[in-house]
Amino acid sequence: MLAFAALIVTIALILVEANGELTLSRQLLYLGAAYLGLFAVAHVVVRYLAPYADPLILPMVALLNGLGLVLIHRIDLAQVQRAIQLGKESLPPPDAPRQIAWTTIALVLFVAVLILVRDHRLLSRYGYTCGFVGLVALALPGLLPSALSEVNGAKIWLRVGGLFSIQPGEFAKTLLMIFFAAFLVNKRQLFTTAGKRLFGIELPRPRDLAPLLIAWGMSVGVLVLEKDLGTSLLFFGIVLVMLYVATERAYWLVVGLMFFVGGCLLAYQLFGHVQVRVRTWLDPFADFTGSGFQIGQALFGMGTGGVGGTGLGTGRPELVPFASTDFIVASAAEELGLVGLAAILMVYLVLVTRGLRAALAVRDAFGKLLAAGLAFALALQVFVVVGGVTKLIPLTGLTAPFLSYGGSSLVANYALVALLLRISDAARRPAAPQAPPVRQAPIAEAHTVLVERPGEKPAERAE
């Protein structure tokens, strides 16, 4: 499957070079060799450290990462051509080599997680530590000055000297899932006790609502401090689903959705940037040259692609701002069409399904909750990204996992996949054969004999 993924990526790179440059450059060889080398090493490591892990998870990730590399390289070529047409003296730096570098770092962390976490159950011992570190990482950008944390209106970054930047919220996502999985396993009984009935719904006791209230408050806090709709929605959705999986009570979904709707209405009334996002979502062409330009151009590009797409290297994805990050799905839809975008979504679906399958198969409750949360986090992130680009929901600023350009998301998601592989390995590992019971020699039955001694009466003696 990895060889098949490499074949698809190689053919896509050749098409981009042939259609965009009308020739095959040496950079194609470098990108292809780096891709093959990195994932060949990753395959060997997984076969050695997690031999029973699901064999489809890594090929799906490799295919998404490779297609993202192809699209990023294609956008690099388009931006260079556009800069030459506009007569600019300096050409934009390419993002594809940096994406290869980020992939290398991500795979190093991927291997490190597999080496350090030999048994996923050990993570439950550090649940509260992970929760504390995750909270600090999530809140830190909002507490720092805008010069150190704000990019494009969202305070979600940590910028060091203008040369290095990272989104700590991407790593906080996985850490908080570990905390909630450990917490719900230990406190499960608290959430299965119903309180009063309201409109036919068995509501939990008020004191048992505390974790959900904390999650809701944190999601609203992220929205207020960091102006980040995507992280707020993603975090609250993950907590809600993990709570439902732990308790198997549907009323938690009802209660959670009530909190979510209330938070959306409150945020719309209080924050101006939320109102701008909603107005742009309802009618992006009302202010096409302003706030609606990005989504408007993306819709034009997807409309141009149609069902079959314009073909790799023949579209105009560079006309969409942030085409290689937030709107890489629109770039794929333009050049690959509806068919190509559906194929990419099917790859995501297979990846999420395999994660949920590991959650069903693993034997311990902590592993079930953690695997379900990790798989659902990928699914929800893809839904939010694709829904925003296609104008199904308001734009949120999230990036497509493994597909978009960016270091923080790529590195954090590879750590997430490493945990999924570790849980899948535990779920698929055959049970150790039990030693046959040791057959003991039968104990001789006691019997009695009559012993006669001189001058004494016969007495019983057991031998």
Q: What is residue 372's predicted lDDT score, i.e. its pLDDT?
A: 94
Q: At residue 96, does pLDDT exceed 90? A: no
- The residue type of 424 is S
Query: How confident is the prediction for the chain on average, in pLDDT?
Result: 83
Task: For residue range 235-257, list pLDDT tens digits in order.
Answer: 888 888 888 888 887 777 887 88
pLDDT band of 437, cuts 50, 70, 90:
low
Q: What is residue 68's predicted lDDT score, i.e. its pLDDT?
A: 93
Residue of 277 and 32 predicted with greater confidence: 277
Least confident of 161-170, 321-330, 372-381, 451-460: 451-460
Q: What is residue 238's predicted lDDT score, i.e. its pLDDT?
A: 87
Task: For residue range 215-230, list pLDDT tens digits in order.
Answer: 667 766 766 666 677 7
Least confident of 25-29, 75-79, 316-320: 25-29
Decide if 449 is inside a domain: no
Decide if 358 is inside a domain: yes
State how far the Cα of 413 lies from the Cα of 423, in Å rounded to an integer.
15
Distance of CA 235 to the CA centre of its chain: 11
Decide if 339 is inside a domain: yes
Q: At residue 377, does pLDDT exceed 60? A: yes
Share of the chain above pLDDT 90, in %: 37
Q: What is residue 21's predicted lDDT score, i.e. its pLDDT?
A: 65
Residue of 231 and 357 predicted with greater confidence: 357
Q: At residue 461, does pLDDT exceed 50? A: no
Residue of 188 and 457 predicted with greater confidence: 188
Decide if 243 is inside a domain: yes
Task: For residue range 167-204, list pLDDT tens digits in order.
Answer: 888 888 899 899 888 888 887 766 666 566 666 666 66
Decide if 441 is inside a domain: no
- Range of the structural domain that residue 226 is part of: 2-429
Task: For residue range 71-95, list pLDDT tens digits in order.
Answer: 999 999 888 888 888 777 777 888 8
Give the residue-averaged pLDDT of 351-361: 95
Give the residue-averaged pLDDT of 384-407: 89
Q: What is residue 463's predicted lDDT score, i.e. its pLDDT?
A: 43
Q: Does this model's pTM top 0.75?
A: yes
Decide if 260 is inside a domain: yes
Decide if 201 is inside a domain: yes
Q: At residue 314, does pLDDT exceed 70? A: yes
Give the residue-averaged pLDDT of 273-297: 89
The alpha-carbon radius of gyration of the chain (Å, integer) is: 29
Q: What is residue 58's predicted lDDT score, i.e. its pLDDT?
A: 94
Q: How many domains does the chain have?
A: 1
Residue of 191 and 265 predicted with greater confidence: 265
Decide if 311 is inside a domain: yes
